[in-house]
Amino acid sequence: MDHSVHNKLVSFIWSIADDCLRDVYVRGKYRDVILPMVVLRRLDTLLEPTKEAVLEEVRYQREEMDAIELDEEPLKEASGYVFYNISKWTLTSLYNTATNNRQILLANFEEYLNGFSANVLEIVERFELKNKIQHMANKDVLLDVVGKFVSPKINLTPNDVVDPDGYKLPALSNLGMGYVFEELIRKFNEENNEEAGEHFTPREVIELMTHLVFDPIKDKLPLTLTVYDPACGSGGMLTEAQNFIEEKYPESNRDIYLYGKEINDETYAICKSDMMIKGNNPENIKVGSTLSTDEFAANRFDFMLSNPPYGKSWASEQKHIKDGGDVIDPRFRVILKDYWGSDQDSDATPRSSDGQLLFLMEMVSKMKDPAAGTQGSRIASVHNGSSLFTGDAGSGESNIRRCIIENDWLEAIVQLPNNLFYNTGITTYIWLLNNNKPEARKGKVQLIDSSLLYRKLRKNLGNKNCEFAPEHIEEITRTYLDCAAIERALDDNNDPVGIASQVFRNEDFGYYKVTIERPDRRKAQFSEERIAGLRFDKQISEVMEHLYAEHGDKVYEHTGHGKDNKQSFLKSIEKSVMAWCEDNYISLNTKAKTKLLDVKRWASLKALVDTARELMAAIGEGEFNDYNQFKKQVDAELKARKIKLSAPEKNAILNAVSWYDETAEKVVKKVVKLNGDKLDELLHRYDCTEEQLPDYGLYPTGKANEYLTYESSADLRDSESIPLLKDGNKQRIHDYFLAEVKPHVDEAWINLDSTKIGYEISFNKYFYRHKPLRSLEEVAQDIISLEQKAEGLIAQILGVGVQQVKGW
């Protein structure tokens, strides 16, 4: 469709809102009327030519066949589409026969709507069109709106027409109708400041995606193929894929089946109507949350294209995916090997604030298995940058990347220019997945940076200020098909231009996340000040300290009132305590509140203080440089006094009176014996020699087969991200430790059991090229030149000579 005609049509429809709805709806609600009316008028124009044939079929079934219920199939055959309308009305006849009686117009319009087939009636219900029609009728604008849509000055029909002035109005194809829908949606979204996640994909981006998905196997396209979009919106991605195949790779006996799901009722209704108009099966388009319900659980698809919402929370859908910490939806669980090579059932859910990778996993779960005799599946999905690197090793995001890369499904990622989309200016990427890679691509991932390939728009469309030209799409596609490295070119100013490409091995994106431990060194000393803190629970210490300072030992008492005369003093002041917390911006959950008002909890902490004082009296207040010796004395005194403490209680006392000091002795955790098979098994597990065991936290005592382990300091604990490969070969963690850690921290050791494997992809790391700073002489010359220009301008403004300005 010619762009000028397209823009004229959109402008006319856009003007209807201002002309007819200004005093009836607030501006943000215009789309609620205009979009369904556009859909309705389009369906109406398609059915107009076969109206008499449909009415004749209705007459035949009712009068000749005495049918109680009409047979749908002959009606569809009569209409020429998968939908029909059995009422006598069209929008044109409604307008032409209308009177000043609004009730008659409303009744006729409702009869017209009720005459549609069930699939159109669902669209009417999703749009809530009947309510809007009634509201417009009550406000006396319904006839005006209908008149605008049946105006001879616009053509929403699939045929060329001539307007009253004798000018030809071109036919509106299904593709052109799609452009009209999406341009209107874009303008309404822009008007209403819709959030960035709710936008449709520019057509040139979809065109690029279709080339990237279909061109590599253009000679092997199946005669029956399926295309799926789990976030289909108004259906642009699906219909463009169909148009692409039919235009680029026509085959008379090819069948294309489109499937999609959309959560928004309005865009679902537009998509479904689009499917009906184009002769596709509207039943393959489902409404609802893709993440909450696996509508297509039994289906597998040949091709999948999608632009899922990003930066959008999926917290409301968590209950369908997770039960506490357990993932209950198999789409979002993956099997990964741990560092030791054992299979683990792993979480593949990202943080709740951004669910875009869940849509990618939904598509992965719908891939056809090449081992079952199929060609497998190809996926193109648009994401923002967070999908590349958000989430540390072991996180859901990293597990998703790892699953896709280690299974060798990721073929390429293409970086797009900024400001390419209408409602967001952020950097976006197309992920290309294929579970049946050709031999030349196996074990490889291609990264393509096309962020500098674009042409500027003459006028911005929302955030969109640039677009791909056909030659850009051709260049990106050729680069992808060639799967070769391309170095970025530089212009005369040494600025990067054009496209860049690099090909990596899968393992290049992987890394080990290893915890590096250091020994805890502690000093210890009893003192009244240190012991005093044991009186209060750390989680609610501020409130407890306030209560004790205010009421003293009363907090341990009962008042003698209340049930069984055993109400605690704390319960009696509950309201004032809660008021104090509110005044001091302290929020207490139910568990913390219960603990705060529990006199038994207070008494147990007081008993702990008393025990600590008893130990202080026995051991004294001298400072210990060796925490191991101090702990032995505490244990001995507890045993001598027959005082039994739980492990948390004893640790609370020890932690209260000890602190880290780098000059203190190391804190021993335990002594272990490693004999025969145990030692061999450990050396095999760590892939090291006996002499290297200290690098893994096992230190020989000097006695045969005896080793010390030390408590680690949580404050000094660190982690290292170690690439899986070094110089093209698998990297040993121990070698990295010896080279990068040991020289700087001699007493550190590797906690190998904590090792996790992660994957991330950084475009900046691979494509950024440093541009040297200009010399001081060049900068100074520019400054002098600017000063001279400024002096000339000032002199010109004041009407004086330059010398006068200098001497101002």
The distance of Cα 497 from the centroid of its chain, to the nearest Å, equals 30
Residue corresponding to tokens 């998703």: 400
38, HSE (Cβ side, Cα atoms, 13 Å):
33
Q: Tell me which DSSP letter residue 219 carries.
A: G
* CB 56 within 8 Å of CB 65: no
Q: What is the pLDDT of residue 197?
A: 39
**Which residues have C-beta within 8 Å of that of residue 624, sequence separation ≥ 6?**
523, 524, 525, 630
* CB 457 within 8 Å of CB 469: no
Q: What is the pLDDT of residue 800?
A: 56
Angle between helices 470-482 and 203-214 (to 10 degrees): 30
Q: In whole angstroms, what is the distance from residue 590 CA to residue 596 CA?
A: 10
- Angle among Cα 531, 537, 540 to the nearest 5 degrees reads 135
Q: In whole angstroms, what is the distance from residue 40 CA to residue 42 CA?
A: 5
Q: Which two tokens stand for residue 644?
A: 């039994």
* CB 346 within 8 Å of CB 399: yes
Q: In whole angstroms, what is the distance from residue 497 CA to residue 501 CA?
A: 13
What count of other Cβ atoms lies within 10 Å of the Cβ of residue 164? 8
Q: What is the pLDDT of residue 175?
A: 66
Q: Which two tokens stand for residue 84?
A: 């029909």
Q: In whole angstroms, what is the distance from residue 57 CA to residue 76 CA?
A: 10
Query: Rounded to the nearest 5°, which phi and psi values hold at 21?
Result: -110, 0
Residue corresponding to tokens 């200290």: 694
* Host H or E run for residue 723: strand 718-723
What count of other Cβ atoms lies within 10 Å of the Cβ of residue 532? 15
Q: In whole angstroms, what is the distance from residue 468 CA to residue 417 CA?
A: 9
390, HSE (Cβ side, Cα atoms, 13 Å):
18
Q: Residue 515's beta-bridge partner residues?
A: 719, 751
Q: What is the pLDDT of residue 17?
A: 83
**Which residues have C-beta within 8 Å of that of residue 38, sequence separation ≥ 6?**
13, 149, 156, 180, 181, 184
Q: In whole angstroms, what is the distance from residue 55 CA to residue 52 CA?
A: 5
CA distances, 416 to each of 204, 467, 639, 761 (Å): 12, 10, 70, 15
Q: Which two tokens stand for residue 767?
A: 């494509």
Q: In whole angstroms, what is the distance from residue 463 CA to residue 422 CA?
A: 5
Say if strands 326-327 and 322-323 run parallel, antiparallel, or are unpaired: antiparallel
* Host H or E run for residue 318: helix 318-321
- Angle among Cα 689, 692, 694 to the nearest 5 degrees reads 140
CA distances, 86 to each of 64, 93, 461 (Å): 17, 14, 41
Q: In whole angstroms, what is the distance from residue 290 CA to residue 695 CA?
A: 49
3 state SS for 59-107: HHHHHHCCCCCCCHHHHHHHHCCCCCECCCCCHHHHHHCCCCCHHHHHH
SS3 of 121, please?
Answer: helix
Domain boundaries, the chain: 3-190, 194-509, 522-619+628-651, 668-761, 776-806
For 449-488, letters b (16+ CB in 10 Å) and e give: bbbbbbeeeeeebbbbbbbbeeebbebbbebbeebeebee
Q: Is the dihedral of CA 104, 110, 114, 115 positive or negative?
A: positive
Query: In terms of Cα–Cα distance, which of 263, 375, 370, 373 is closest to 312?
Result: 263
Q: Which two tokens stand for residue 306?
A: 């999608």
What count of other Cβ atoms lies within 10 Å of the Cβ of residue 805? 17
Q: In whole angstroms, what is the distance from residue 394 CA to residue 392 CA?
A: 6
Q: Tell me which DSSP letter residue 562 carries.
A: S
Domain 194-509 matching CATH 3.40.640.10: the answer reads no
Q: What is the pLDDT of residue 324?
A: 87
Residue corresponding to tokens 């449709």: 200
Query: In terms of Cα–Cα distance, which of 41, 42, 70 is closest to 56?
Result: 70
User: Can you spell out the DSSP letters for 508-555?
Assistant: GGEEEEEEEE-B-BEEE---HHHHHGGGS-GGGHHHHHHHHHHHGGGG
* Averaged pLDDT, groups of 10, the chain, 808 residues long: 67 85 83 88 92 95 89 94 94 90 91 95 93 92 92 84 84 73 73 53 91 95 95 90 93 93 89 87 94 95 94 90 92 95 94 94 97 94 94 95 97 94 84 97 97 90 86 97 92 85 96 97 96 93 93 83 64 92 92 92 94 95 96 95 94 96 95 91 94 96 93 95 92 95 95 96 84 79 80 62 51
3 state SS for 689-716: CHHHHHHHCCEECCCCCEEEEECECCCC
What count of other Cβ atoms lies within 10 Å of the Cβ of residue 250? 8
User: Can you spell out the DSSP letters for 264-312?
Assistant: -HHHHHHHHHHHHHTT--GGGEEES-TTT--TTTT--BSEEEE----S-
- Angle among Cα 396, 397, 398 to the nearest 5 degrees reads 95
Q: In whole angstroms, what is the distance from residue 783 CA to residue 785 CA?
A: 5
Q: What is the pLDDT of residue 193?
A: 58
For 422-432, letters b (16+ CB in 10 Å) and e give: bbbeebbbbbb
